Amino acid sequence: MGLTSNKVLVSAVALAVVLFLATVWLWPRLARRGWRPVVGRVGLLLVTQVTLFAAVGLAANRSFLFYGSWADLFGQEQDMGVVVDHAAGSKHLRVLGTQGLDVPGGGRPSVGGQIQKVMVAGDRSGIVSPAYVYLPPEYFQPQYAKRTFPASVVLTGYPGTAENLIKGLNYPKTAYLQAKAGRMQPMILVMLRPTVAPPRDTECVDVPGGPQTETFFAQDLPKAVSERYRVGKRARNWGFMGNSTGGYCALKMALHHPDRFTAGAGFSAYYRAAEDVTTGDLFHGDDALRKRGDLLWSLDHRPRGETSFLVTSSKRGESNLKGTRQFIKKVKSPATVSSIILDSGGHNFNTWNRELPPGLIWMGGRLSAN
């Protein structure tokens, strides 16, 4: 049973309740003197408390998806041992498995679409990273056999897993429902985490002498996806979106690479590259690189492209409201900016799930299939 499954959570809660009742029932018998009753009381209290905390932890993890699997919880990498060939002419994207959507008829790709687990090998960056690709039902339907589709890269926050985008934020199902209702055009989603050099948080920066993360996202990833799927190669065919760290990366990619991405959506994004124990030394004393990582500075000092931005925040519960308002104010023509400002909402999955449907509709309206 998976870490985030209902069975695990229900089992943990049931066990905690049983042990609590057992403690109440057995306590009078364990109230005697002697080492055995003392050991019994200590053991019963310890087991009950551990089970209770486990149930609470599982419930919190299921709501916010801090960890997507048991292997993730215990620090084990799930994608070790995959050999990717880098010989000339080889493919840069390999499909490892497929799954359907939890929708009526979801077992048939032409009805519910399909999620493919893939491994992407960056030609320029040298980075190899797992990802998930959502293909809409139309991709498999005969009448669309010669059509190209728009695509958007989707990133989680740090240190999330790509599974969070499927299980917690429901990107594929939300995109399916919005397209089915006619609110947006069918769109391919390329879903992964920003931590492509784990466990380091590289903030989508080309680190001097280190991981070339920006190159991977701006050049390698679109190239690999366009080689494998029917996706256009022009900026108007591509968008970038994400939450938290992924939101910062999305805005940064759209801002710095208008020739690659025509739109960027940052849900609860911040606007300056973090520098802490998780990132290490990102800029190696290069002040120009540090300024470039400041999106507000970049809006004032770098050439503007015809890029569309979407930013989100909350009047109560989010710490990025001031920065979001500054970002909106600094975006000038020919770029455009839109926003979602909730009355209240924290930095969590519940808030992002309120913003994603209109966010996907917004993104779909700014991308072109051809």
The domains of the chain are located at 6-64, 87-364
Contact predicate 74/202, CB 8 Å? no
* Top-tier CATH class for 87-364: alpha beta
Per-residue pLDDT of the chain (370 residues; tens, 9 = 90+): 666 667 777 888 888 888 888 777 777 776 777 777 777 777 777 888 888 888 887 777 665 555 656 665 665 545 444 444 433 333 689 999 999 999 999 899 999 999 999 999 999 999 999 999 999 999 999 999 999 999 999 999 998 889 999 988 999 999 999 999 999 999 999 999 998 888 899 999 999 999 999 999 999 999 999 999 999 999 999 999 999 999 999 999 999 999 999 999 999 999 999 999 999 999 999 999 999 999 999 999 988 889 999 999 999 999 999 999 999 999 999 999 999 999 999 999 899 999 999 999 999 999 998 8
Q: Is the pTM of this model over 0.75?
A: yes
Contact predicate 50/60, CB 8 Å? no
The secondary structure element, H or E, covering residue 71 is helix 70-73
Structure tokens belonging to residue 7: 């069975």
Cα angle 302, 304, 306 (rounded to 5 degrees) comes to: 155
Q: What is the pLDDT of residue 187?
A: 97
E strand spans, the chain: 93-99, 114-121, 128-135, 151-155, 188-192, 238-243, 263-267, 308-316, 336-344
Other C-beta atoms lying within 10 Å of the C-beta of residue 358: 16
Contact predicate 356/174, CB 8 Å? yes
Contact predicate 362/265, CB 8 Å? yes
